[in-house]
Chains A and B, each alone.
Chain A
Amino acid sequence: DAGVTQSPTHLIKTRGQQVTLRCSPKSGHDTVSWYQQALGQGPQFIFQYYEEEERQRGNFPDRFSGHQFPNYSSELNVNALLLGDSALYLCASSLSGRLDYEQYFGPGTRLTVT
């Protein structure tokens, strides 16, 4: 049973560019959440997708957008990259997004903006 997978593993972009990160949830899960983890800090919630809709959003600008596909996989898009967007981006999947069910995290995508 595959867990949460994310691609790519690492990515280097230049300021002003756009990036797309991908996440496949654990088998049987229908909800995907995205978190940003800057170096030396705890993860910060970006948003959650359920039934192909953004259900909850954290305190992130509109440059951060997402999508969920019918197979429950998800993409995170970041436009007009800033140096401060350099971070580990973590995807978590769960059943119905409820936190009384365990969330499983992927290994993350390390984004470096130069």
Chain B
Amino acid sequence: AQKVTQAQTEISVVEKEDVTLDCVYETRDTTYYLFWYKQPPSGELVFLIRRNSFDEQNEISGRYSWNFQKSTSSFNFTITASQVVDSAVYFCALSGINDYKLSFGAGTTVTVRA
């Protein structure tokens, strides 16, 4: 069974602050994918990143960065210099390498205040 835990239910920050979202996962698969999705109020899930379990290199994309640590089964996501448009629900998800489904966490609601 696969499980994703996002312990933070809600995070509220003031614009330009950094915000880090935690994600801890459990899986018996030796190879797997990890994902982050953003869900704005419109409801559509927007893909942000996918990482393979055999690639632990951290990644930066603009104001977004991801810290993957296999030793602690964590895949954390940081938004640097947050903006009001970053307000959304963020989901971490997991899939086995030969699986066709995503297992999502419960999500973290991020509110960025002007």
Binding site for B on A (CB under 8 A): 31, 33, 35, 40-45, 48, 50, 55-56, 58, 88, 90, 92, 97-100, 102-108, 110
CB closest chain-A residue, reference B44: A107
Q: Once bound together, how far apart are the Cα atoms of A56 and B98, in whole Å?
A: 11
Interface size band for B: 20 to 34
Asked if B102 and A45 make an inter-chain contact with CB atoms under 8 angstroms apart, the answer reads: yes
Known: A107-B44, A108-B44. A102 touches B101 (CB 8 A): no
**Inter-chain contact count A-B, CB under 8 Å?**
63
Judge whether B100 and A105 touch: CB under 8 Å.
no
Q: In the bound complex, do residue A104 and residue B101 qualify as a contact, i.e. CB atoms below 8 Å apart?
A: no
Picked from B47, B99, B100, the residue with its CB within 8 Å of the CB of A104 is B47
**Does B47 contact A102, Cβ atoms closer than 8 Å?**
yes
* Measured CA separation A97–B96 after assembly (Å): 13
B101→A41 contact, CB < 8 A:
no
